Structure 1
């Protein structure tokens, strides 16, 4: 069941979200060829500590790190280890925090140094897909309208969407209803 939030609850979630956004911005400035994924995790922990926030992923279902770092073909939830980021890598960082009992969770994909034209086109396409999905998040639309908009942009550029992992609601728990895929038939669902 989708739990509707009050204005105050949304403000608290937004506060946690601002911290995650700041963390991702900070890590974007740190990602470079030669850095280890584990070092990105240490940076994330220090940043969240300075902000008075708790890493949402650390210990969640046994997860051993504060962030997820997925490189190139790794789709999602990569555990940061001793792997060094190389020139031309695409580095996806998934970060979450909990502040005063409210969760926030977001991800971004970063380019380490000079990337291939295909990698650049992929990141530009995913940015446009996100923007188009957000543009469809308006009163009167359904979640599937957002999902379909993302899918249309991605597939129009010759890429595919991941179907095995989906987005999700958030609030008092890291994962709440509803599931939010990046594909779907418009005008369906909640």
Structure 2
């Protein structure tokens, strides 16, 4: 039964929409980010100190953001290092929203989108996985690939959008494709629409 469950499990990955290929490591992501005006910093634990794992941050060097009177510093896109597949949806959301903070793209899915894919038989089997949600979701993420602050931010937003236990479309879905929503935030796609690759 456990082997059957593992066969059904799916992980998420960030895909480069132009080539429709998953991006599995920072070595693949960094050249794309460079063309967008971002410079990768050396991996460190400071980006997500509570997790204790290495994370890599990107800094916008293109001068797209001008300091204003806001007390909060601009977001820095960050992802666990070295692999960026099999992460929690909140980690992907924080990354894409931080990138789009600088790019201000109307349809961010023209650049990146999040998509499900099967676990790799050899590479992924030795890793520790956790279910994305407490229910019967088949989507899993690698343990240690979400920091507490990100989880609290997006999980609180999800729960605060609930209305008497019924969540709206945005609260039960996080992804990168708009369904007729004119929001300037990162676009959303329902869980049911995250189609696993075959």
Structure 1 and Structure 2 fold alike (TM over 0.5):
no
For normalisation by structure 1, the TM-score amounts to 0.29
* Structure ranking higher in helix proportion: 1
* TM-score, scaled to structure 2: 0.28
